[in-house]
Structure 1
Amino acid sequence: MLYTFLGQLVFSLSLPHLCPEDQALALLQFKNMFPINPNASDYCFEFKEFHSYPKTLTWNRSTDCCSWDGVHCDKMTGQVIELNLTCSGLQGKFHSNSSLFQLSNLKRLDLSYNDFSGSLISPKFDSDLTILNCSFKNLTQLRELHLYDVNISSTIPSNFSSHLTTLELSDTHLRGILPERVFHLSNLKTLDLSDNPQLTVRFPITKWNSSASLMKLLLYNVDFTGRIPESFSHLTSLHELNMGYSNLLGPIPKPLWNLTHVESLSLGHNHLEGPISQFSRFGKLWELSLGYNYFDGRLEFLSFNRNWTQLEVLDFSSNCLTGPIPTNISGLQNLKKLLLSSNYLNGTIPSWIFSLPSLQLLDFSDNHLSGKIQEFKSKTLSDVALSQNQLQGPIPNSLLNQTSLRFLLLSHNNISGQIASTICNLKDLNVLNLRSTNLEGTIPQCLGEMNKYLWNLDLSNNNLSGTINTNFSIGNYLTVISLHGNKLTGKVPRSLINCKYLTLLDLGNNHLNDTFPNWLGYLPDLKILSLRSNKLHGPIKHSGNRNLFLQLQIMDLSSNGFTGNLPESLFGNLQAMKEIDESTRTPQYVSDQYADFYDYLTTITTKGHDYDSAPVLATNMIIDLSKNRFEGHIPSIIGDLVGLRTLNLSHNVLEGHIPASLQNLSVLESLDFSSNKISGEIPQQLASLTSLEVLNLSHNHLVGCIPKGKQFDTFENSSYQGNDGLRGLPLSKHCGGDDRIPQATTPAELDQEEEEDEDSPMISWQAVLMGYGCGLVIGLSVIYIMLSTQYPAWFSRMVVELEHRITTRMKKHKKRY
């Protein structure tokens, strides 16, 4: 019996215990409190390293809760000790009576990358929990506190547990001043307060208690203005320091040189200065990021540095470095990321860079580098940016065979040859920018079908020819397509309708021969459409659909052959132009939300000037229909487009009056109606347009008085020339009530005064005849002198004509009197 009992006991202990019923019920209640919303974990979808799926959907009462996704139980007792629901699409608010608090043995909780906005975590978490990854309040017994992207929107508490070893509160909207007590937590090894720009950090001036144990200090994008204090010299155990975007000033202080164990040093986006070579004293680095500062000097010190054999990341971008890149470097064979963009480097790119076996990211853009792009040895390239240099030669084949390449930016170089169809093998490509590289040939047909990740395709300002026979496949993610400034012919490809995410389409400055592609209006996100300088023709027909071009903010159809009336129905659809966005005073550019480094570029004409490859301001609202053959009147509905900044209808055949409704365009900066047949007066209401900087109404049939005051007092004669019927400032013609300048008499006015004089009884006809007689004598005398001195024949003819006109006038007066 005893052996039987012991055998059963051992057997029972070897089996996993089932989850207690009360804990299973508590988990199911928690599940029902938070519905699933995939957008709640959108961050996880953007990055492949995070696997996002709704774990709680698999929970049901028919199975043991210890087998549920994200639930971990004690093998001996069956109690729930760990709950990991990261990236589960949970959305909602925590309440103080949450069933989660019934899990009395819970030791570890990870709820990161969900949406718990507005939640205040109850102090009940304090009872047994040792590791929390979601949010906090009065947690005095914790060892680790992990928070990512939780909107706490409060000041940071000061009553942390003295046992705390890890405090990670990045991107939690903390504000106020960081309590100094945090630096005196004696067991603290990791302090991460990154991405809290409203949090002010002031370091203790003297040594703090945690300085001996602290291994990670991450203060990226917090408010720390000034210099690194002397107390940093005591951080002798520090392995990782990140103080980018922290308003650091001046040269690197001496206390930093004591940090001999630092492996990752990031001080980018500050105002630091001094020679770049000083950082060679850090011998254990795997990452050195110093971009966007004012460091100067040359890179020769890399040739003599034998301590950086483990270096993987080297970022000196956007500094003041000069000279060539050293050619005799052999100690950086483990480099994965090399960034030297926006400096003053010259010479060729040395071969050791192309030979780096593990290179992933290379950014040398915006320098003065020359020579050819050699073949790359690395098979792991993800980002190659060599734009704005003087590089030559074809695109190397090794670049076109990189299966992991995401960004290929070669714009503004002298790249020769054609675009090989092998470029379509780049299945992970996000951005292809070959703008202004002198490429020729045709566009590969496969470009529109290469992968679902490509969002930016820029082949503008090259010598590409042929038709756009690219087939843009259904389900693509293209956001930017710019083929501007080539020699492309044929029609606008209908497959563009499959680009449902398209924001910018620039096909300007080509030889396209087509009618207006009204069907592009079905693209729901289209903001910028440029078809300028092509051979497009015919009227812009009314479609009857009021849902076309709703988001359009720039429409450039200039320099084509469009005819008929202006597209009044199209103007009525432009909903985005019917609002004024004054939400921010800081200029914002239109760019992709996941790639803010790349602004949308196009060629625009505004304020009388052409801007090539200009970044597009989010507030830019432009209609340019100039240099076509539009006729008829200017629709008054344009006055509804109150967000317009530029309106150009010049060089058409427009008639009728300027609509007074244009007074509603309160932010209009440039108005050009020149070279049309517009008649009537300039509406006095336009004087209310206080933002107007450029006005061109020249070469029309306008009459009447020019409006006075505000912006109209700043325009010059060129704004009105070619309108004989206009009067007032700045013209010399007098306008009623304007006595600020002497009245000038025109030839037409002289003729009118002569007619009035002829009818006046105050003047006798004898006096008139006497005047004409004197004129005749003078005229005949001039003729005699001409003939006797052999004066030029053209002048003789002019005098004879003058004599004839005088004689005619005399005969006319004789008959009347």
Structure 2
Amino acid sequence: MGYVKLVFLMLFSLLCQLAFCSSLPHLCPKDQALALLQFKQMFPIDAYSKLLSWNKSIDCCSWDGVHCNEATGQVIGLNLTRCGLQGKFHSNSSLFKLSNLKRLDLSNNDFSESLISPKFGELSSLTHLDMSYSSFTGLIPAEISRLSKLHVLRIQSYSDGLRFGPHNFELLLKNLTRLRELDLSSVNISSTIPLNFSSYLTNLGLSYTQIYGRLPEGVFHLSNLESLDLSDNPQLTVRFPTTKWNSSASLMELVLYRVNATGRIPESFGHLTSLRTLGIASCNLSGSIPKPLWNLTNIEELELGDNHLEGPISELFRFGKLRSLLLENNNFDGQLEFLSFNRIWTQLEVLDFSSNSLTGPIPSNVSGMQNAHSLYLSSNQLNGTVPSWIFSLPSLIFLDLSDNHFSGNIQEFKSKTLDTVSLKQNQLQGPIPKSLLNLHHLYYLVLSHNNLSGEIASTICNLTKLLVLDLGSNNLEGTIPLCLGEMSELWVLDLSNNSLSGTINTTFSIGNELMVIKFDMNKLEGKVPQSLINCTVLKVLDLGNNELNDTFPKWLRALPNLMILRLRSNKFFGPINDSSAYKFARIRMIDLSSNGFSGDLPMSLFENFEAMKINGEKSGTREYIADMNGRYYTNSFIVTKGLDLELPRVLTTNIIIDLSKNRFEGHIPSIIGDLIGLRTLNLSHNRLEGHIPASLHQLSVLESLDLSSNKISGEIPQQLVSLTSLEVLNLSHNHLVGCIPKGKQFDTFENSSYQGNDGLCGLPLSKDCGGDEGVPQATTPFGLDQEEEEVDSSIISWQSVLMGYGCGLVIGLSIIYIMFSTQYPAWFSRMDVKLEHIITTRMKRHKKRH
């Protein structure tokens, strides 16, 4: 009995010890703690990093971001997202010693374009791996496909620096059969989309991956699918199922921007009753929205923009939970009276109906859009006054009503949260509302192309955060507020095409951010303010069509980024002194026309136009001057191909030199031939002389050449025939001689291109150059005495007459002999009459000339 008690007590003690020990957390193994500390030492750690808690005096299982197995103490999870890690992630990183890792999150760090190590494939226990947005680059190793236990794989990128090798994406999908989430957005896959995906998938994100081919319909029938995003793969063909999808009950997010989904929206969409987000913009869809789509009563975000959809817009009030409704760039019509149904729109935050065919006024009794922060109704046919409720929305940030037919005065602004206001291209009138000048959060104010009147109040300078101020093309008058030059954040200042007067007394402060200054088409006087040299990032300066009276502001050469300089139609005068100090290296458009500039054409200007010496066509990209992150383009008036054009966006390849209608003298510098990017060259209406430089044939993209109304002499260089892009040529009213070149574009120009040059001959002129092939006859050497010229000409003419009579006598005797020997056949009689007519006509012409 005592023995039994003893055994019982020993067992009880042992059980208590086991129970006590199991209640204590296991400590992190020393080798794993050391591995984590070695990893930490590879990166600089800032004051906000979670790695600050990593200290060898503390058990690593309690470190921030570290998760251990409670039973063994092994590190099984590492959450290092947004740790501020910067530097190389080495292929021999100590993290690879943590062989029991199940979850690893390295997202949102900066690993300095490190390669993804193949050793990630050795972490065979991983179920979750996230390396998104951490500046990895290069080839994604095939070893990732060995992680067969993965449930979640995210390797999203900011660019296409990450890529798969051939067939590696297909291999990944073949091996990772347990995947639930796969997001490879902006990874360059560049292959056909595979046929098979994991049947467990709930989230699939392959946007910006350059996949192509036809999307297997089976993707829509994955029974657990909740989110599908295949956006921005224009070579991917998507055909929606016409019957009920297997994923209908679970699918909550469907985003397919910019894929090839040509056709109509099928009625099968009506079964997606769980859908919260539907984005099928820029997919070439057409037709009306099918009625079953109105069954999607849980829709919160509906984006169907940039398609060819049509029909009335009034049905949209059926979607009661909408937060975002984007239908821009379609063909929807009808009126906006449904906005009055305020019970429906209480949650709406974004409404974009821009670029459709909506008509009529905006209802004045709308009160249910109190949460709206973005309202875009631009480029429709809306009319009437803008109702006051729009300017009173308490959460409104973005307001764009541009390019409509709104009239009347602009109401007082009560929305204090506004960031962007664009009311351009309407018929609004009256003064700029004073309340608008109290919106201290305003970044963009665009009121151009209206009928606004009155003066620009100096209180506009209270808008200290303003980036764009565009008041152009109105009826504003008075002077330019002096304080505008002190607005340190301003990018664009456009006061063009108004009735502003006085001098430009604005002092532009040092360190300003101005990229565009447009004061053109006003009544401004005086000189160009020299404080413009403080605008070191200036790209566009347009002071044209004013009454400025000054010499050429050569100090503008100090502006290193200047691309457009327009001083046309002012009262500028004097020579543009030749100086090697001129820079203007980035100039792409210079217009000094219709002034009083004199002297020789400035050689150094042309020498330093470095941007014009590049043919931008070869780059294959379209870039615009003064592009503010795609949000604002400056319009510019240019003269090209003989036309005055207002361009809303100016390509960097639109390279123009216009020095016409001045008093320039001397020769045309041959160095202009080095400006191979030139598209328009206009030197007309000056006093230029000498020859047309043959070097102009190097201007391979030249579209318009105007040298008219000068004193240019000599022949038109035959080499200019190679200018196959030339559409407009004007050489009229000069002293050109010789034969007009033939071939290519020169066969398309009319008489007006050459009129006023008495020495020119050949097509299209009626004056023949002579010769079998239209080759010009030898011309008298330049400088020959006029009397000698007349004598020599007379001798040559009489020689020609005697030779003609001699030939005629021989031919005549031959004709008589043949006539008598052949009994005067009828065909020869007809020939005789014709020859007689030709000889008589030529003799008459000769007598008239002499």
- Both structures adopt the same fold (TM-score exceeding 0.5): yes
Matched, 1:83 2:119: no
Task: Give how far 1:678 is off.
Answer: 1.2
Q: Which residue of the partner structure matches residue 480 of structure 1?
A: 516
Q: Which residue of the partner structure matches residue 462 of structure 1?
A: 498
* Structure 2 Cα separation of the partners of residues 414 and 70 of structure 1: 62
Distance 1:127 1:760, change over 3 A: closer
SS of residue matched to 1:650: coil
Post-superposition CA distance 1:434-488 (Å, at most 9, x none): 1112222232333333243x32222111122333333434444332222211222
Which of 279, 288, 292 is residue 316 of structure 2 equivalent to?
279
Q: Which residue of the partner structure matches residue 837 of structure 2?
A: none
Is the deviation greater in 91-100 or in 281-290? 91-100
Q: Which residue of the partner structure matches residue 680 of structure 1?
A: 714
* Structure 2 Cα separation of the partners of residues 695 and 69 of structure 1: 77
What pairs with 1:202-241 in structure 2 (closer than 5 Å)? Answer: 202-241=239-278
What pairs with 1:395-434 in structure 2 (closer than 5 Å)? Answer: 395-434=432-471
Matched, 1:319 2:331: no
SS of residue matched to 1:400: helix
Q: Is the 8 A contact 1:490 1:511 kept in 2?
A: yes
Post-superposition CA distance 1:280-338 (Å, at most 9, x none): 22222122211110111122232346322222222111111111222222333332222
Which of 580, 599, 607 is residue 544 of structure 1 equivalent to?
580
**Amino acid aligned to 1:608:** G
Identity within the alignment, %: 61
Post-superposition CA distance 1:46-104 (Å, at most 9, x none): xxxxxx99979989998989799995545965654223145544332534434696596
Matched, 1:650 2:684: yes
TM-score by length of 1: 0.80
Task: Give how far 1:362 is off.
Answer: 1.4
Task: Give how far 1:410 is off.
Answer: 0.7
Matched, 1:306 2:343: yes
Q: Is the 8 A contact 2:156 2:184 kept in 1?
A: yes
Q: Is the 8 A contact 1:706 1:729 kept in 2?
A: yes
Matched, 1:735 2:783: no
Which of 115, 128, 142 is residue 94 of structure 1 equivalent to?
115
* Structure 2 Cα separation of the partners of residues 70 and 440 of structure 1: 64
* Structure 1 Cα separation of the partners of residues 61 and 701 of structure 2: 62
Matched, 1:667 2:667: no
What pairs with 1:599-748 in structure 2 (closer than 5 Å)? Answer: 599-613=633-647, 615-737=649-771
Distance 1:592 1:210, change over 3 A: farther
Q: Which residue of the partner structure matches residue 40 of structure 1?
A: none
Task: Give how far 1:119 is off.
Answer: 3.7
Which of 307, 327, 331 is residue 290 of structure 1 equivalent to?
327
Post-superposition CA distance 1:138-181 (Å, at most 9, x none): 44333333444333333444554333322233333333332333
* Structure 2 Cα separation of the partners of residues 210 and 576 of structure 1: 56
Q: Which residue of the partner structure matches residue 570 of structure 1?
A: 605
Q: Which residue of the partner structure matches residue 114 of structure 1?
A: 135
What pairs with 1:247-266 in structure 2 (closer than 5 Å)? Answer: 247-266=284-303
Distance 1:88 1:570, change over 3 A: farther
Q: Is the 8 A contact 1:689 1:711 kept in 2?
A: yes
Distance 1:519 1:339, change over 3 A: same
**Amino acid aligned to 2:746:** F
SS of residue matched to 2:632: strand
**Amino acid aligned to 2:156:** C
**Amino acid aligned to 2:633:** D
* Structure 1 Cα separation of the partners of residues 139 and 464 of structure 2: 41
Q: Is the 8 A contact 2:533 2:555 kept in 1?
A: yes
Distance 1:544 1:214, change over 3 A: same
Distance 1:568 1:654, change over 3 A: same
Distance 1:620 1:223, change over 3 A: same
SS of residue matched to 1:278: helix
Task: Give how far 1:127 is off.
Answer: 4.1
Task: Give how far 1:6 is off.
Answer: 12
Post-superposition CA distance 1:683-736 (Å, at most 9, x none): 122222222222212222222222223322332332222222222333333322
* Structure 1 Cα separation of the partners of residues 238 and 252 of structure 2: 18
Distance 1:368 1:68, change over 3 A: farther
SS of residue matched to 1:582: helix
* Structure 2 Cα separation of the partners of residues 11 and 526 of structure 1: 74
Q: Is the 8 A contact 2:633 2:648 kept in 1?
A: no
Post-superposition CA distance 1:776-804 (Å, at most 9, x none): xxxxxxxxxxxxxxxxxxxxxxxxxxxxx
SS of residue matched to 1:170: coil
Q: Is the 8 A contact 2:148 2:177 kept in 1?
A: yes
* Structure 2 Cα separation of the partners of residues 607 and 213 of structure 1: 60
**Amino acid aligned to 1:81:** L
Matched, 1:558 2:555: no
SS of residue matched to 2:403: coil
* Structure 2 Cα separation of the partners of residues 9 and 512 of structure 1: 92
Distance 1:131 1:405, change over 3 A: farther
* Structure 1 Cα separation of the partners of residues 793 and 241 of structure 2: 96
Task: Give how far 1:432 is off.
Answer: 1.6
Q: Is the 8 A contact 2:256 2:279 kept in 1?
A: yes
* Structure 2 Cα separation of the partners of residues 114 and 106 of structure 1: 22
* Structure 1 Cα separation of the partners of residues 42 and 184 of structure 2: 20
Distance 1:636 1:149, change over 3 A: same
**Amino acid aligned to 2:477:** E
SS of residue matched to 2:239: coil
Distance 1:729 1:379, change over 3 A: same
Gaps of 5+ in 1: 37-51, 741-747, 764-817
What pairs with 1:782-801 in structure 2 (closer than 5 Å)? Answer: none
Q: Is the 8 A contact 2:124 2:146 kept in 1?
A: no
Post-superposition CA distance 1:181-230 (Å, at most 9, x none): 32232222111222222222222332222211011111112221111223
SS of residue matched to 1:678: strand
How many residue pairs end up in the alignment? 732
Task: Give how far 1:386 is off.
Answer: 0.7
Matched, 1:520 2:561: no
Post-superposition CA distance 1:395-435 (Å, at most 9, x none): 22232222222221111011122222332232332322111
**Amino acid aligned to 2:112:** Q
**Amino acid aligned to 1:705:** C
Task: Give how far 1:373 is off.
Answer: 0.7
SS of residue matched to 2:36: helix
Q: Is the 8 A contact 1:510 1:534 kept in 2?
A: yes
* Structure 2 Cα separation of the partners of residues 66 and 517 of structure 1: 69
* Structure 1 Cα separation of the partners of residues 183 and 69 of structure 2: 26
**Amino acid aligned to 1:562:** F
SS of residue matched to 1:712: helix
TM-score by length of 2: 0.78
Gaps of 5+ in 2: 1-12, 83-106, 158-168, 775-785, 802-850
**Amino acid aligned to 2:209:** T
Q: Is the 8 A contact 2:442 2:463 kept in 1?
A: yes
Q: Which residue of the partner structure matches residue 21 of structure 1?
A: 33
SS of residue matched to 2:269: helix
What pairs with 1:368-383 in structure 2 (closer than 5 Å)? Answer: 368-383=405-420
Post-superposition CA distance 1:550-589 (Å, at most 9, x none): 2222111112222221122221222222222334889x46
* Structure 2 Cα separation of the partners of residues 282 and 580 of structure 1: 52
